Amino acid sequence: MAALSGLLTVMERAARKAGSRLRRDFGEIEHLQVSPKGPADFVSKADQRAERTLYDELLKARPDWGFLMEEAGEIEGAPGKPRWVIDPLDGTSNFLHSIPHFAISIAAQEAKPGGGWGDVTTALVYQPLTDESFWAEKGRGAWLHDRRLRVSSRRNLNEALIATGIPYMGHGDFAQWSKIFGSIAPEVAGIRRFGAASLDLAWLAAGRYDGFWEADLKPWDVAAGLLILKEAGGFVTDFRGGDKYMARSEFLATNDALHSKLHKLVASALR
């Protein structure tokens, strides 16, 4: 059993505090006040409260670190110090429609010497309703509570369950997604769209899914989940098979055995 580091203990404490409030708000979903944030994209008071709780708790523990948050944006820390990358409520639409599938995502990202941002070194994805805490530290593996995670060992597409995110009003390229879906769907055992990328990646790390693709994701959507996936033995590229997935906002993730097969289908769809 891997013991939580001091940094992960801070992250877990913050996530659980924010998560307890989300559980209460989820139980009274019809009373939430909702304000428009953009086309088909709504932010709830619960979302804002969760982000504030995470900010306050993490700032107290690391007062010189910066933040990149979905709602508040970027807050600079001391030069050369890491930053927190936070999605306080991944799956907001699920939450607002009383669908019990959402998560809190927190990642710690190192600063690059001379400027810019480097590797995510510590990650946590917490599902408040199931009390599942997925976490990873670079070089220490990925875990669900105290159970070591490994991606699935499936090698055949006809046995594989694939996760995705479907474009919606104002977000994503539906034509591109449709081409990829049309190429993959006939070859696999099933495709699921549950609406929270952080949990998609954590579930892929846990072997619940065998692959995942999605475009138009933001850093806070994937920062924690990608480290958890990689530390569980997973593999991620952009749709072209390269390593520009963050720059292109294209994510194709699987176990190693299935990646070349899934990539061929995606590449064929995008010709």
Does the pLDDT value for residue 259 go beyond 70?
yes
| 55 found inside a domain | yes
Residue 132 lies in a domain: yes
**Same structural domain, 137 and 165:** no
CA distance 129 to 12: 15
Q: For the residues 165-177, what does the mean pLDDT come to?
A: 90
In the predicted structure, residue 37 carries a pLDDT above the cut 80: no
Q: What is the count of structural domains for the chain?
A: 2
Sheet with 103-111, strands from edge to edge, namely 73-75, 66-69, 83-90, 103-111, 117-127, 132-137, 141-144, 147-148
**Domain end marker among 122, 148, 174:** 148
* Mean pLDDT confidence for 191-196: 97
pLDDT tens digits, one per residue of 140-164: 999 999 999 999 999 999 999 999 9
Q: At what angle do helices 256-269 and 174-184 cross, to 10 degrees?
A: 120
Say if residue 184 is in the same domain as residue 228: yes
The runs of H, that is alpha helices, within 67-138 are 92-96
pLDDT at 31: 60
Q: Within a 13 Å sphere around the CA of 2, how many CA atoms are in the beta-carbon half?
A: 20
Q: Note the pLDDT of residue 115.
A: 86
In a domain, residue 243? The reply is yes
In terms of residue numbers, what domain contains 77?
6-148
Instruction: With a cut of 80, say whether residue 61 has pLDDT above it.
Output: yes
Q: Say yes or no to pLDDT of 36 above 70.
A: no
Supply 102's token pair.
Answer: 């959402």
Q: Are residues 109 and 164 in the same domain?
A: no
Please indicate, yes or no, whether residues 175 and 225 belong to a single structural domain of this protein: yes
Write the pLDDT tens digit of every residue in 88-110. 999 988 988 889 999 999 999 99
Whether residues 240 and 139 share a domain: the answer is no
| Residue 96 DSSP one-character state | H
* In a shared domain, residues 64 and 126: yes
The answer on 69 and 24 residing in a single domain is yes
191 with 163, same domain: the answer is yes
Pick from 18-32, 107-121, 124-138, 209-223: least confident:
18-32
Q: Which of 84, 116, 148 is the last residue of a domain?
A: 148
CB distance 90 to 221 below 8 Å: yes
> What is the C-alpha to C-alpha distance for residues 245 and 249, in angstroms, rounded to an integer?
5
Query: Is residue 34 predicted with pLDDT exceeding 70?
Result: no
What is residue 268's predicted lDDT score, i.e. its pLDDT?
A: 94
Tell which of 148, 174, 207 closes a domain. Answer: 148
Give the pLDDT of residue 41: 44
How far CA 165 is from CA of 9, 190, 212, in Å, comes to: 31, 14, 9
Tell me if 1 is assigned to some domain.
no
Exposed / middle / buried, residue 11 (Cβ in 10 Å: 0-12, 13-18, 19+): buried
Query: b/e string for 143-182 if b means 16 or more Cβ within 10 A?
Result: bbeeeebebbebeebeebbbbbbebeeebbeeebbebbbe
* Residue-wise pLDDT tens digits, 64-94: 999 999 888 999 999 999 999 999 999 988 9
Contact status, residue 26 vs residue 100, Cβ threshold 8 Å: yes
Domain co-membership, 111 together with 174: no
Q: Which helix (H) or strand (E) element contains residue 89?
A: strand 83-90
**Looking at the structure, do residues 14 and 116 belong to the same domain, yes or no?**
yes
- CATH number of the domain bearing residue 221: 3.40.190.80
Q: What would the mean pLDDT of 260-265 be, rounded to a whole number?
A: 96
Average pLDDT over residues 200-223: 98
**What's the CATH number where 70 sits?**
3.30.540.10
The answer to whether the CB of 217 falls within 8 A of the CB of 83 is: no
Work out the mean pLDDT of the chain and round it to a whole number.
93
- Residue 39: what pLDDT? 34
Q: Which residue has the higher pLDDT, 39 or 11?
A: 11
Q: Do 234 and 257 touch, CB atoms closer than 8 A?
A: no
Contacts of 33 (CB under 8 A, 6+ apart): 44, 45
Q: Distance from first CA to last CA of the chain, Å, rounded?
A: 46
Mean pLDDT of the region 104-125: 96
Distance, CA of 81 to CA of 207 (rounded, Å): 34
Q: How confident is the model at residue 44 (pLDDT cuts 50, 70, 90)?
A: confident
Q: pTM for the complete prediction?
A: 0.94
Strand partners, 105: 87, 125
256 is a domain residue: yes
Same domain, 19 and 59: yes
Instruction: Indicate whether 38 pLDDT > 90.
Output: no
> Is there a single domain that holds both residue 132 and residue 165?
no
